[in-house]
Amino acid sequence: MAKIIHLIRHGHHALLGRTLCGRMKGVELDDLGCEEIARCADTFTPPPSMVQSSPQRRCMQSACILAARFGLPVEIVPALDELDYGEWTGLSFEALARDPRWSRWNEQRGTNRPPGGESMRSLQKRVVAHLEQLRNDHGSGTVVVAVSHAEPIRAALLHYSRKELDDFLSIEIDPGSVSTLSVDNRGLKITGINQRVPA
């Protein structure tokens, strides 16, 4: 039964801020990203007893860095996967800025979805269901590290802060950041958002 869940965004990669990678294959951490994740490991007290990861390469690399530090295996969890951006996957942000559907989606995340992709509501449902399973599963570790992406982490934090999906810009999730959920007698509560370890 998890008592603490650390939500880690994968580290920096070369396409960050230029391309909507989503579920693109072969996106890997760069040197900066590896350093960011290595610094994250110093923030976990007590140390984790379980490390989970999105199936995407950049997350698995990040999770492996953390798992190696603590001598743990990495469990791949589809529920932690990035939002499916459908037709937008792999497009530059410059190209997306010319698409009116992109603007509409960013104005109303709660009711719109990427063309051929996944809605934020569906994303939130799968991520929260997984976190609640960790909270209630007696087989899970006491301290869990879950490596994912900005949107899944943001969706979870919006849920636990009781904010609407349209408020997604109110929560910033940087590469290599740690956001933490802790269990009390009422369930999961947020005890840290977007915490970074300085170089």
Question: Does residue 185 belong to any structural domain of this protein?
Answer: yes
- Could you read off the pLDDT of 136-156 as tens digits, one per residue? 886 667 999 999 999 999 999
Per-residue pLDDT at 140: 67
Q: List the CATH number of the domain containing 157.
A: 3.40.50.1240
Residue 92 lies in a domain: yes
The per-residue pLDDT for 158 is: 98
Residue 156 dihedral angles phi and psi, to the nearest 5°: -65, -45
Is 77 within the bounds of a domain? Answer: yes
Full domain range(s) for residue 173: 4-190
Split into its structural domains, the chain has a count of 1
On whether residue 153 sits in a domain, the answer given is: yes
User: In Å, what is the CA distance from 108 to each residue of 2, 105, 113, 119, 122?
Assistant: 33, 5, 9, 11, 14
C-alpha span between 151 and 153 (Å, rounded): 5
Could you tell me the pTM of the whole model? 0.96
- 55-65 pLDDT, tens digit each: 999 999 999 99
Higher-scoring residue by pLDDT: 123, 183: 123
